[in-house]
Chains A and B, each alone.
Chain A
Amino acid sequence: MKSFTYEKVNSAEAAASAAASNSNAKFIAGGTNLLDLMKLEIETPSHLIDVNGLGFDKIEPAPDGGLRIGALVRNTTLAADARIRRDYGLLSRALLAGASGQLRNKATTAGNLLQRTRCPYFYDTNQPCNKRSPGSGCAAIGGVTRQHAVIGASDACIATHPSDMAIAMRALDATVQTVRPDGSTRDIPIADLHRLPGDTPHIETTLTSGELITSVTLPKPVGGTHIYRKVRDRASYAFALVSVGAIVQRDGTGRVAVGGVAHKPWRVEAAEAEMPRGAKAVAARLLEGARPTKENAFKLSLVERTLGAVLTEAKG
């Protein structure tokens, strides 16, 4: 870990402007991802801006009938919230499928969205990695890739985004509220937050330098049956090989987002039109153009089969 300076801020604007005055600063929320990465010098901020005291820890009704979730709401609190459990069961279930009780007590809504990949080569600073050190190459390609992306990847990077919560947020069409160093605010649809790796896998989101997430807003409830199915080798405390988050309506229509397959939560709205025709049709459209490796090609049929099980379960 490189030594760093630390400050605790008391307003969102102060946080953003502190970040603006130091291009090598980082926000710290629960610290469950950032600190691990700093210990390994995968992240090397020279300054940490602690945003825990900003009061973004409430879940409040949003004007259009949705819910506004403060960026600092802990994963445990969010999963247990009665409104979330009633109207956004998918989100609660996705959260509870992630990490462990201790980690969820610390992890925050914004931190969870911005957690970084679990590619093992990214974690080993002896290895070339375009995401960790741009231009150095990608050690994963041609190496051990069972966990890696099957779609939307590039020749520069085949990493996945590991968040469970983000899959639910994507299916729920959440929007992300931010404030920038100049004080301006904006709404970013969750679909636009995470980027595909392309030639610049180190640029993972569309946030600009010093941009602070203040909340994540869920639109008004859409009803339906909410199912989150996380598939993994061990029964708990493991990242998804593949996960399927679905909202299925009585008439068989609905939404599907998939985790463990891409650099971002994977959702193809056009594929959802196939839902009444069943899992095979949806998966075919959802994974069109997939380029798996030999080691992770199984994810294609795993997505299809898992989705099939989810749709069957939704029928009851």
Chain B
Amino acid sequence: MKFDTPATTNPIDQLKVIGHATSRIDGPLKTTGRATYAYEWHDRATNPAYGYIVGSAIAKGRIASMDLSRAKAAPGVIAIVTSENAGKLGKGNYNTAKLLGGPEIDHYHQAVAVVVAETFEQARSAAQLVKVDYTATKGSFDLWAGRDGAAKPPGRGDNQPDTTVGDFSGAFASAPVQLDATYTTPDQAHAMMEPHASMAAWEGDKLTLWTSNQMIAWTTGDVAKTLGLPKENVRLISPFIGGGFGGKLFLRADAVLAALGARAANRPVKVAMQRPLMFNNTTHRPATIQRIRIGANRDGKITAIGHESWSGNLPEGRPETAVNQTRLLYAGENRMTAMRLAMLDLPEGNAMRAPGEAPGMMALEIAMDEMAERLGIDPVEFRARNDTQVDPEHPNRPFSQRQLVECMRIGAERFGWSKRHAEPGKQRDGRWLVGMGVAAAFRNNLLMKSGARVRLDGQGRVTVETDMTDIGTGSYTIIAQTAAEMMGVPLEKVVVRLGDSSFPVSAGSGGQFGANNSTSGVYAACVKLREAVAQKLGFNSADAAFVDGQVSSGNRSAPLGQAASDGELTAEDSIEYGDLAKTHQQSTFGAHFVELGVDVATAEIRIRRMLAVCAAGRILNPKTARSQVIGAMTMGVGAALMEELAVDKRSGFFVNHDLAGYEVPVHADIPHQDTIFLDETDPMSSPMKAKGIAELGICGVAAALANAIYNATGIRVRDYPITLDKLLDHMPDA
């Protein structure tokens, strides 16, 4: 189905199932431990062997020699795979550094071997006996040092390293009110609960991988490319995923090493990446240095806005696109953005929840707060004054929907924003300095082709098959809701099967594009199935109604299952998009409000309450949407207050590489969260009229906290995370 004209009324608008706060249909499987995660397919391989990964001990250089003799002789060891004996390996499209390193080493903890043994414990023990001698060479590990030599990265589509509109420098220089400030965000880890894990089994030259992966088709392709197999010979199965946040968008070492290990051992092999390797072996969100300049008239109208960002990556890696939102979020006639990329020999930087916007909004929304203060305008009002209903770079291109100001105003009202003291450091509650902060939320809505297959059986049961994944987000549920709505059956009559490369290719889970696109693909397949059903039952498909398990037209009616009485009916289709995303800018909007306390003695920062107001198209399921947003808000708190991969700039690695050292928020950090979804449908986005929500929820949160900390203390911190040591010297006497 081609979606190239705005959606009109369709069966989804009935909202009998869609739009209801439905609990996750996969919930019982998970709460009873029956959901099969990658490491848990116990009935598919009764005698798996276990692989344990050896990570490089240096960040850059070469393996001088490797001595495997002791490890090979250790009890239970079946095989050891290294780059020496792995055979020729290709490199996937989506990973920058090789997933099995050697003799060249590209980053710390790059895999250099996998030891396969009868038991996990034997593999782990033998892995310690692998002796590797390295010749280290000098690497670059410091973004600040690399900043001046940073190069202009190649552009990709609309994503260009340099953009300009009007005369930025002139307008900035002559603006009566100016801000020129530099902000930094650190490297961050996805730190998901389930590590990367895979089980591989070969049948001849056909490989099956049970894995944990967000993008089945990308990864199937990259497995084939890496191992030199035809794509048809690779089957990926990933129905349950214990969190990904972008860390599992791509093929990673666990899957490659499980496959190589299984080939060498001649039996199925399981590999779960050990937690201490997760932080340096896999991808992370790269650190940024961001310079923001804003010029405005005294009435608060922005006349010039400029955003530059520096990030680092391995050779051939990409920049963190932290300037993206600044091209679209606020009005202003004179504009510029620039991205520069330094070569760093740290582990590979790549996507993490809301890549680009998440770190970009961390900086931009502090800058907006600073500017509002300079202008003496309330931060909510300042943003409202600079609202734009059109793409500021292309004024003839309207936003499909844009309710930023509504989010701000409704949030302000609900949160009690008027009680905030504009002057910082003025509100005290016992030992706490109390402050409120606000930030806009913004994230683009992405359209991706997505396919599905639907089957109808004689009992009127509908089965959906698509390679879409559910990374804990609720894909199973909203897909079931979509099929139930389209086919006029209760939710219990729908079976959803996901995450299998033998199913039609979907958008997958990433970039908050999963929900809207995958349900639209299911919509398309259901439209086809409805036609097949109508035809089978002798109805005119245009006026057949699908309600309560019955198909009716005029005064004639038949049970839905009857259409499949002499055999299953199957329909398959994809949603594909026309030009609507070109003619209209599709984005999602929101506002984050935070109240927090800063301990007057210790400068410990503790949140009191948070509110997010979101305008993001139709909310397919308010319950799963709320879960996404409060989870994203929590991650934003982590970014604001504690998350930082600490770089050892001498040896080039992230030092705090376990969950004791890399802190993420715990329950005690998150006392109270509210979410509000504005009533919105976006006919430009898809037949579902929905948009993404899961990344919008993180964008801006950290800045709202930073602004609240400023409001509480009068201390402006521009370097994340905002830890107490950055406040302490400036705190008032207790």
Using a CB–CB distance below 8 Å, which chain A residues touch chain B? Answer: 1-3, 39-41, 118, 120-121, 123-127, 139, 142-144, 146, 229, 231-239, 241, 298, 301-302, 305-306, 308-309, 312
A-B contact pairs, 5 of them (CB 8 A): A120-B657, A126-B57, A229-B602, A234-B665, A302-B725
B606 within 8 A of A: yes
In the complex, the answer to whether B642 meets A233 with C-beta atoms within 8 Å is yes
**B124 contacts A143, C-beta separation under 8 Å:** no
Q: A123 is contacted by which of B276, B599, B602, B604 (Cβ under 8 Å)?
A: B276
Given A229-B602, A237-B666, A309-B431, 8 additional A-B pairs, CB 8 A: A120-B646, A126-B58, A142-B650, A233-B724, A236-B669, A298-B728, A302-B725, A306-B602
B163 within 8 A of A: no
Q: Is the CB of B650 within 8 A of A143?
A: yes
In angstroms, Cα B638 to Cα A235, docked, is 12
7 tightest A-B CB contacts, nearest first: A309-B601, A235-B668, A126-B57, A298-B725, A236-B668, A144-B646, A144-B655
Look across to chain A and name the residue whose beta carbon is closest to the beta carbon of B605.
A233
Q: Is B648 an interface residue (CB 8 A)?
A: yes
B668-A234 in contact (CB<8A) = yes
Question: In the complex, what residue of chain B is closest to A100 when comparing beta carbons?
Answer: B666
Which residues of chain B in 278-326 are interfacial with respect to chain A, using CB atoms and an 8 Å cutoff? none
| Complex contact A234–B666 (CB within 8 A) | yes
CA distance A308 to B660 in the complex (A): 29
Instruction: Tell me the bound Cα distance from A1 to B668 in angstroms.
Output: 34
Cβ A302 vs Cβ B602 within 8 A: yes
In the bound complex, CA of A142 to CA of B276 (Å): 22
Question: Shortest Cβ distance from A312 into chain B, in angstroms?
Answer: 7
The chain B residue with its CB closest to the CB of A142 is B650
Residue on A with the closest CB to B723? A233
The reply to whether B724 and A234 form a contact with Cβ atoms under 8 Å apart is no
Of the listed residues B128, B669, B725, the one surrounded by the most CB atoms of chain A closer than 10 A to its CB is B725
Which residues of B (598-623) have their CB < 8 Å from a CB of A?
A: 599-602, 604, 606
Q: Interface residues, chain B, CB within 8 Å of chain A?
A: 57-58, 75, 121, 124-125, 128, 276, 431, 599-602, 604, 606, 641-642, 646-648, 650-651, 655-658, 660-661, 663, 665-669, 721, 723-725, 728-729, 731, 734
A38 to chain B, nearest CB (A): 10
CB-contact partner of A124 in B601, B604, B606, B657, under 8 A: B657
With A120-B656, A234-B641 known to touch, is A3 a contact of B601 (CB < 8 Å)? no
Knowing A123-B276, A301-B729, A305-B601 touch, does A235 contact B724 (C-beta < 8 A)? no
**Cβ contact of B666, chosen from A139, A235, A308, cutoff 8 A:** A235
Give the A-B contact count at a CB cut-off of 8 A.
Answer: 100
Which secondary structure dominates where chain B touches chain A?
Answer: loop
- Alpha-carbon distance between A235 and B634 when the two chains are bound, in angstroms: 13
Contact A118 to B660, CB < 8 A, known contacts A234-B641, A234-B665: yes
Q: How far is the CB of A163 from chain B (nearest CB, A)?
A: 14
Cβ A305 vs Cβ B656 within 8 A: no
Q: Once the chains bind, are A238 and B663 in contact (CB under 8 Å)? A: yes
Contact between chains at A2 and B125 (CB < 8 Å): yes
When distances are taken between beta carbons in the complex, the residues of chain A under 8 Å from B121 are 1
Q: Is the interface of A mostly helix, strand, loop or mixed?
A: loop
B646 to A308, Cβ gap below 8 A?
no
Do the beta carbons of A312 and B734 come within 8 Å of each other? yes
Closest to B607 in A: A235
In the bound complex, what is the Cα–Cα distance between A309 and B431 (angstroms)?
A: 9
Asked if residues A144 and B724 are in contact (CB atoms below 8 Å), the reply is no
Kindly list chain B residues whose C-beta atoms are within 8 Å of the C-beta of A309.
431, 599-602, 734
Contact between chains at A301 and B728 (CB < 8 Å): yes
Residues of B within 8 A of A232 (CB): 604
Whether A235 and B606, one on each chain, are in contact in the complex, defined by CB atoms closer than 8 angstroms, is yes
User: In the complex the two chains form, is B657's CB within 8 Å of A235's CB?
Assistant: no
* A124 contacts across to B, CB distance below 8 A: 276, 655, 657
Q: Is the CB of B604 within 8 A of A231?
A: yes
Are B656 and A144 in contact, CB atoms less than 8 angstroms apart?
Answer: yes
Contact of A144 among B124, B648, B665 (CB under 8 A): B648
Q: Knowing A234-B668, A235-B606, A235-B668, say if A305 contacts B734 (CB, 8 Å).
A: yes
| Shortest beta-carbon distance from B342 to chain A in Å | 20
Q: Chain A contacts of B667 at CB under 8 A?
A: 236
Q: Inside 8 A of A298's CB, which chain B residues have their CB?
A: 724-725, 728-729
A234–B650 contact, CB under 8 A?
Answer: no
Q: How far is the CB of A285 from chain B (nearest CB, A)?
A: 19
Measured between C-beta atoms, what is the minimum distance from B174 to chain A in Å?
A: 41
- Known pairs A146-B646, A233-B641; A3 contacts B125 (CB<8 A): yes
Q: How many whole Å from A293's CB to the nearest CB in chain B? A: 12
A46 shortest CB reach to chain B, Å: 13
Query: With A121-B655, A142-B650 known to touch, is A231 a contact of B666 (CB < 8 Å)?
Result: no
Q: Kindly report which residue of chain A lies nearest to residue B57, judged by CB atoms.
A: A126
Find out whether the CB atom of B125 lies under 8 angstroms from the CB atom of A231.
no
Contacts of B604 in A (CB 8 A): 231-233
Residues on B with C-beta less than 8 A from A125 are: 128
Inter-chain contact A1/B661, CB cutoff 8 Å: no
Q: A140: nearest residue on chain B (CB-CB)?
A: B655
Report the separation of the CA atoms of residues A233 and B276 in the bound assembly, to the nearest whole angstrom.
Answer: 21
Instruction: Collect the chain B residues with CB atoms within 8 Å of residue A239's CB.
Output: 660
With A and B bound together, what is the CA distance between A312 and B721 in angstroms? 30
Least Cβ–Cβ distance between B221 and chain A, in angstroms: 34
How far in angstroms is the closest Cβ of chain B from A302? 6
CA distance A127 to B656 in the complex (A): 13
Q: Is the CB of A234 within 8 A of B663?
A: yes
* Cβ contact within 8 Å between A234 and B642: yes
**A contact residues around B666 at 8 Å (CB):** 234-237
- Is there an interface contact between A123 and B658, defined as CB atoms closer than 8 Å? yes
With a cutoff of 8 Å between Cβ atoms, the chain B residues found around residue A1 in the complex are: 121, 124-125
Tell me which residues across on chain A come within 8 A of B600, comparing CB atoms: 309
Give A236's nearest chain B residue, CB to CB. Answer: B668
Q: How far is the CB of B71 from chain A (nearest CB, A)?
A: 13
A241 cross-chain contacts in B, Cβ below 8 A: 724
- Cβ of B244 to closest chain A Cβ, rounded Å: 23
Q: Are A233 and B646 in contact (CB under 8 A)?
A: no
Taking the nearest CB of chain B, how far is it from the CB of A313, in angstroms? 8
- A131 CA to B48 CA, complexed, in Å: 38
Determine which residue in B58, B641, B650, B660 has the highest number of CB atoms from chain A within 10 A of its CB, and name it: B660
- Chain A's nearest CB lies how many Å from the CB of B554? 64
The complex places the Cα of A236 from the Cα of B121 at a distance, in Å, of 32
| Cα distance, A237 to B724, chains bound together (Å) | 17
Interface pair A308/B125, CB less than 8 Å apart: no
A309–B604 CA distance with the chains assembled, in angstroms: 13
Q: A238-B663, A298-B728, A301-B729 are in contact. Are A308 and B601 (CB under 8 A)?
A: yes
**How far is A32 from B541 in the complex, measured between Cα atoms in Å?**
65
Residue of A nearest to B58 (CB): A126
B601 engages A120 (CB within 8 Å) = no
Complex CA distance for A3 and B124, rounded to whole angstroms = 11
